[in-house]
Amino acid sequence: MGSRLEGKVAIVTGAGTRGDGIGNGKACAFVYAREGARVLAADVDMGLAEATAEMIRAEGGTCIPFRADVSRSEDCRALTEACIKSFGRIDVLHNNVGITNSGGPVEYAEEQWDRMMNVNAKSMFLTAKHALPHMELQGSGSIVNIGSIASTGGIPGRNAYCAAKAGVLGMTRALATEWARQGIRVNAVAPG
């Protein structure tokens, strides 16, 4: 176990893993805990959030699971309130939630487009909306938005995904500029 995040608190959204292996959210929650952070592991599937929390606790870390659909404002408010109630602060908001599927504007249904935007972009807006006031009171914080290389160039057949991730990149840049003076860093990571 490291100590770079000793005394810090991290919220990780999309902290569960579907299927075999370990997904990005679960891996990040695990690394935050290994570096000394207390973690709130959020996922739309409580069983998956609990599995992440159990793994972290088995190594001696501190983690509480939380069920949240981060495309819903009320869930994001409840998520941040649970973190403040449990740990007293929010130092890191790690927005890992994301979905992808194929389709262009002709074959893609409007409902699919809306879901892609809600899960991949709106969720990051909503979690930031509810976490930023707490970070501002602390005078510090860090938001990490997981984007994609799809945000900078088109991928044929992934129109909605590319648009959502481009929105994440634009929002990240705007938030970084707006909140830097309050001691809050906002960055995006673009895997791919």
Query: Catalytic site residues?
Result: 161
Cα distance between residue 186 and residue 42, in whole Å: 20
* Burial group, residue 10, by CB count within 10 angstroms (0-12, 13-18, 19+): buried
Note whether 130 and 174 are within 8 A (CB): no
- Within 10 angstroms of residue 142's Cβ, the number of other Cβ atoms is 17
Tokens of 152: 């900078």
Q: Where are the alpha helices (DSSP H) in 41-145?
A: 46-58, 73-87, 110-117, 123-138
Q: Which residues, listed in sequence order, are joined to residue 38 by a DSSP beta bridge?
A: 9
Q: Is the dihedral of CA 134, 140, 146, 148 positive or negative?
A: positive
